Amino acid sequence: MTRIAGGLIDRSRTLTFTFDGQSFQGHPGDTLASALLAADVRLMGRSFKYHRPRGVLTSGSEEPNALVEVRTGGRQEPNTRATVQEVFEGLTARSQNRWPSLSFDALGINDRLNSFFAAGFYYKTFMWPAKFWEKLYEPIIRRAAGLGALTREADPDAYDKGFLHADLLVVGAGPAGLMAALTAGRAGLRVILADEDFLLGGRLNAESLAVGEQGSADWARSAAAELAALPTVRLMPRTTVFGVFDHGIYGAVERVSDHLPAPVQGQVRQTLWRIYAPQAIMATGAIERPIAFDNNDRPGVMLAGALRAYANRWAVVPGQRVAVFANNDDGLRTAVDLQAKGVDVVAVIDSREGGALLPGIRHLRGASVVDTSGRLGLTGITVEHRGRRETLAVDALGVSGGWNPNLGLMQQHRARPDWSDEIAAFVPARGPKGLVAVGAAAGVFSTHGALRTGAEAARAAAEALGRQAPYALPKAEDAPYRIAPLWAVKGASRAWVDQQNDVTVKDVKLAHQEAFSDVEHLKRYTTLGMATDQGKTGNLLGAAIMAELTGQSIEATGQTTYRPPFTPVSLGALGGRSKGRDFKPFRLTPSHHWAKSQGAVFVEVGMWLRTQWLPKAGETEWRQSVDREVLATRASVGICDVTTLGKIDVQGTDAAAFLDRVYANNFASLAIGKCRYGLMLREDGMVYDDGTTARLGPNEYVMTTTTANAVLVFRNLEYARQVLWPDLDVQIISTTEAWAQYSVAGPNARKLLQKLVDQDISDAGLPYMGCAEITIGGLRARLFRISFSGELAYEIAVPARYGDGLIRALVAAGEEFGAVVYGTEALGVMRVEKGHVAGNELNGTSTALNMGLGKMVSRKKEAIGVTLSGREALVAEDGLRLVGVKPVNPADAMKAGSHFLKIGAAPTVENDDGWLTSLVYSPHLGHYIALGYLRDGARRMGEKIRVVNLLAGTEIMAEIVSPHFIDPQGERLRG
């Protein structure tokens, strides 16, 4: 055990967990990484490409190496960073990308063959044969070079989403974030303080510094306690703000239950929050960067700040003999802290020349680490000092190449950061409106500087709201940082830049040599900065090495684009509750409950559930039900719920003029008490919707649309009303939901309805295409004499709450006529029999002329789409026309999706004469019938044609007929 005294872990409780099947113990407050290090486990994974042994590099979310699979079954999650996974009782974790075991990985052979695996080798090697890539090369490469795996079992946990609002969002609860939240919270601002860690305090918990009269971790705990008690402050630990979006919107994931074996009953695993904050403070700290030197990736080599954090926060020293390699004063703190804890600090290798030496420590100035040794973990380092090489036996090495302000959020809107020579790093600049960086995230590295800039930013946020936010800063260190940049130490072997993707200095050189020098090219060519860590530790190093190669400054070399998410976000969290039956809402029709009780089969039409057919006892096939519904309707009477059709109330003194402009045909002449069928065109002249509009009063109309386009038509009408013709006096509102509407069709429709309707609805009382406001037992209702089926038909509407009552009343009243209730299938059969167009014909590429409705497009007025519908090609006489199609042999079943070919014509695109749009079995005619668009169709009645489906391999001989299979003269509907 390498536990030392102190730390922020709860030693009163012990938690048992497993790693690769072996049992270990940790304490509350431990991460998987700290607990494994405490148990002398340094080897935690294998690298992506070379399968090199790897341990932890960091102590935070930037970790590139220590990726593990945690949990099992549906909860198994790959690529979990051991450095942020909290230990809980029963946690199971496994190493990834190794076979058969972590300590003996057969694919470690890749490391020996490294010369074959340089950057770009896939592109050069797996060139041919091209078809081998998808089936052979890629699967093999993916298996060999990879990250963790999923079990493919369903995730049993629930996820949630939500919306939060604040005056000020503070991202990061280190010294700057805590001070900002305290300053704003004390002033009464609504503050959200979010931090990815489970313990607020950031680096304050990792240092042995003092803040005010307290130790830094104690001060953080006091500050968090005060914040928790402030009524307007919401503390959100375990919450990663992963993205900045437009207009002050931030995306955050709260890991509600990831620290527990399973979510508490009724709780979710994670919540995706959308945070609305006009002002935000980015106090996200800084990320330490490594230095590239030969074999700098062995387990035991870690960042100096991480080494210090493990000692101070988790009371773990991952070694007995420790060295530190640094180019800045912050790195020296690691040596001082460890020595104070009684650890054997073998040497401090300081790349800078001159300056004071650390007392009581072998402090080598002007020195560098040039190589390391150790198979599965560090055993020694080679140091070069004043031209001399020396090997030191150490089992832990802390490396500090400096600190990069954590720019993640600030630069997501593509603003380029500025370069600071003082700290040899990029600092944030020109971020999204309302977002300011403070503390280390702004390149201010001292504790005092963090506290000060945090408080100042909070005060400014308060002032922007007209509030005062005075503050007093606790005393804290304000030591200089003093960095002398060192990116890479010259060497003969491989020096890692990006440990997650196995990108070395040699790879960067190769990229430069092959002219992939731009940082974005460098990334794609070498994979630098890809995968789960997005190059948090390696990106700048790679850019700096490239800068040295090109002779450009690092500033000019730049950084790749920052994008959300800052750290990986599970798909479950993005999906939230929207899965399974909760994927989308359902819309139920007024007859739904009745239909369900009758055993109706439902079909999803958009969000609506509509009755598709209503099987009767003994019917085993859908066609039996549908045929029966069709025949009964045509023989007597049928009832169908048509509530889903869009209804739009159009009123105003200019309502008629408005309708005249949105419909291609004339509406100005529509009389009160009458309905008219109308076509709506897009601006390009194609038909996009059709329906009936009724005139109920001088300035009052009710429009119906297709079910599918109800929202689109309404939106277009609003656009026309508000934007195109704001001078028209017209008001619209949807009434789709307000009225339950049923179609009653068939020769006995009138007789049935007359039993319920209080008024006279004889042909004289309500002629074809008439409409009236009527009553049913005194209840206000509407009656429209319109027909989609070709029968004598009505649509009757009552306020929706009475819809259930009305279907029951209609069925009861229809009993003496043998009335049926029919669904959308029978509806479809009857409309095809009648030759009415529907969705299949309104396909967005068809004009009224194509549909045989060319005469409806009025040239005597201006309406949307009319002008462009007259384009030459669209009015060609031999263009596509709607026709009816019936098989020459009635026993033949045509296939949907078939195309028309002349007899003897080869099945080529040039010979394509059109296609079949709608196909149904007509029980009335006893064979299949279809509608279709046929080239020059109107003049080809009676012609025999081949109906060919190359996909299904079918060819049927058919005859072109009128699309009106039933009652072409329209005698029934006028009956």
Binding region for other proteins (CB under 8 A): 160-165, 190, 266-268, 274, 276, 577-578, 582, 584-589, 592-593, 607-608, 643, 649, 651-653, 699-700, 728-729, 731, 733-740, 756, 776-780, 798-806, 809
Residue 245 Cβ, how far from other proteins at the closest point, in Å? 13
SS3 for 285-308 is CEEECCCECECCCCCCEEEHHHHH
**Crossing angle for the helix pair 505-513 and 519-526, to the nearest 10 degrees:** 120
Residue 374 Cβ, how far from other proteins at the closest point, in Å? 50
Residue 632 Cβ, how far from other proteins at the closest point, in Å? 24
CA torsion angle 423 424 429 434 (round to 10): -40
Tell me the C-alpha distance between 700 and 730, whole Å: 10
Residue 643 Cβ, how far from other proteins at the closest point, in Å? 8
Which phi and psi angles does 221 have, rounded to 5°? -65, -40
Which distant-in-sequence residues (6+ apart) come within 8 Å of 506 by Cβ? 118, 494, 495
Residue of 344, 362, 365, 339 whose CA lies nearest to 353: 365
Q: Are 26 and 276 in contact (CB under 8 A)?
A: no
Which distant-in-sequence residues (6+ apart) come within 8 Å of 271 by Cβ? 159, 160, 161, 162, 253, 254, 256, 573
Q: Using the 8-state DSSP alphabet, how is residue 118 labeled?
A: -
> Between β-strands 344-350 and 321-326, what pairing exists: parallel, antiparallel or unpaired?
parallel
Chain centroid to Cα 152, Å, comes to 20
Structure tokens at 580: 């399974």
Q: Per the omega criterion (within 30 degrees of 0), is the bond before 129 cis? A: yes
CB atoms within 10 A of CB 13: 11
Residue 665 Cβ, how far from other proteins at the closest point, in Å? 24
Tell me the C-alpha distance between 20 and 96, whole Å: 10
| CA distances in angstroms from 221 to 212, 224, 348, listed in the order given | 13, 5, 32
Which distant-in-sequence residues (6+ apart) come within 8 Å of 579 by Cβ? none
Q: Which is nearer to other proteins, 209 or 761 (CB)?
A: 761
Residue 803 Cβ, how far from other proteins at the closest point, in Å? 8
Q: Which is nearer to other proteins, 214 or 735 (CB)?
A: 735
Residue 98 Cβ, how far from other proteins at the closest point, in Å? 39
Q: Which is nearer to other proteins, 400 or 741 (CB)?
A: 741
Residue 593 Cβ, how far from other proteins at the closest point, in Å? 4
* Phi and psi based region of residue 303 (left: phi greater than 0; alpha: psi -120 to 50; beta: remaining): beta
Q: Which is nearer to other proteins, 339 or 775 (CB)?
A: 775
Q: Which is nearer to other proteins, 740 or 931 (CB)?
A: 740
Residue 257 Cβ, how far from other proteins at the closest point, in Å? 12
Q: Which is nearer to other proteins, 702 or 837 (CB)?
A: 702
Burial 947-960 (b: 16+ CB within 10 A, else e): bbbeeeeebbebeb
Residue 139 Cβ, how far from other proteins at the closest point, in Å? 38
Q: Which is nearer to other proteins, 17 or 714 (CB)?
A: 714
Tell me the C-alpha distance between 282 and 407, whole Å: 9
Residue 198 Cβ, how far from other proteins at the closest point, in Å? 21
Chain centroid to Cα 223, Å, comes to 36
Q: Which is nearer to other proteins, 355 or 777 (CB)?
A: 777
**Crossing angle for the helix pair 304-312 and 329-340, to the nearest 10 degrees:** 30
| CA distances in angstroms from 70 to 74, 82, 134, 524, 573, listed in the order given | 11, 9, 30, 30, 17
Residue 799 Cβ, how far from other proteins at the closest point, in Å? 4
Residue 77 Cβ, how far from other proteins at the closest point, in Å? 22
Residue 652 Cβ, how far from other proteins at the closest point, in Å? 6
Residue 804 Cβ, how far from other proteins at the closest point, in Å? 4
Structure tokens at 389: 């090489």
Q: Which is nearer to other proteins, 128 or 163 (CB)?
A: 163
Chain centroid to Cα 543, Å, comes to 31
Q: Quote the strand ranges of 22-125, DSSP E.
A: 22-26, 45-46, 53-54, 67-70, 77-81, 92-95
Q: Which is nearer to other proteins, 443 or 590 (CB)?
A: 590
Q: Are 800 and 781 in contact (CB under 8 A)?
A: no
Residue 273 Cβ, how far from other proteins at the closest point, in Å? 9
Q: Return the sign of the alpha-carbon dihedral for residues 21, 26, 32, 38.
A: negative
Q: Which is nearer to other proteins, 13 or 801 (CB)?
A: 801
What is the SS3 assignment for 701?
strand
CB atoms within 10 A of CB 154: 10
Give residue 59's identity as a one-letter amino acid code: S
Residue 413 Cβ, how far from other proteins at the closest point, in Å? 21
DSSP 335-398: HHHHHHTT-EEEEEEE-S-SSPPPTTS-EEETEEEEEEE-SSS--EEEEEETTEEEEEE-SEEE
Which distant-in-sequence residues (6+ apart) come within 8 Å of 188 by Cβ? 232, 467
Residue 103 Cβ, how far from other proteins at the closest point, in Å? 44
Q: Are 743 and 792 in contact (CB under 8 A)?
A: no
Tell me the C-alpha distance between 135 and 139, whole Å: 7
What is the SS3 assignment for 796?
strand
